[in-house]
Chains A and B, each alone.
Chain A
């Protein structure tokens, strides 16, 4: 079974631009979560989508948005990029059931650098 894939793996953008990152979950998984990892703030939860609906949201500004398609693939978008958005963006997928235990499988991440 293929794991979680994220594209692109590396991205360089300039301030003010926007960016879209993609995540393909493990086949059969309906939940996709996004996390931002930076040296200063560590790993922070961005949002989670389940069946095309945002189910959980972290404390990030509105410049960060996401969506999920009917095949469970997810995209996240960051508009008006700032230097502080440089980070490793990780996506995780799970079956997404209502139990509080849902093993999340992480992708390798997209390394975004904002110049």
Chain B
């Protein structure tokens, strides 16, 4: 089935690390993505990971992939107020068909 789950909310203090988790169901997904959506805006691709990788780091972002458990996480180091947004994980089901998670609203407080 096509079902990608995330926790709904995460609240962190500015300067702390944030970890957003995602579980997906289709083990055949080749790429997994993290998108950010700010209020009133479309989706911005933050990073992606190929399914044969365990980890990918991109500046303040670290993606961890556990294929056995079908678990994906996004860690944001030194979280800033500008990181407040909704974060979506997504798996690709064919070249241009993405199945999105439910989204995690990240709130960063000073």
Q: Which residues of A contact B (CB under 8 A)?
A: 4, 31, 33, 35, 42-45, 48, 50, 55-56, 58, 90, 92, 94, 96-109
Contacts and interface: CB of A to CB of B under 8 A. Distances in A.
Contacts of A108: 40-42
Contacts, number: 70
B88 A43 contact: yes
Contacts of B44: 106
A101 B30 contact: yes
- Give the interface size bracket for B toward A: 20 to 34
Interface of B: 30-31, 35, 40-45, 48, 50, 88, 90, 92-103
Given A43-B88, A43-B100, A100 B95 contact: yes
Contact of A90 (B42, B90, B99): B42
A90 B100 contact: no
A52 to B, nearest CB: 15
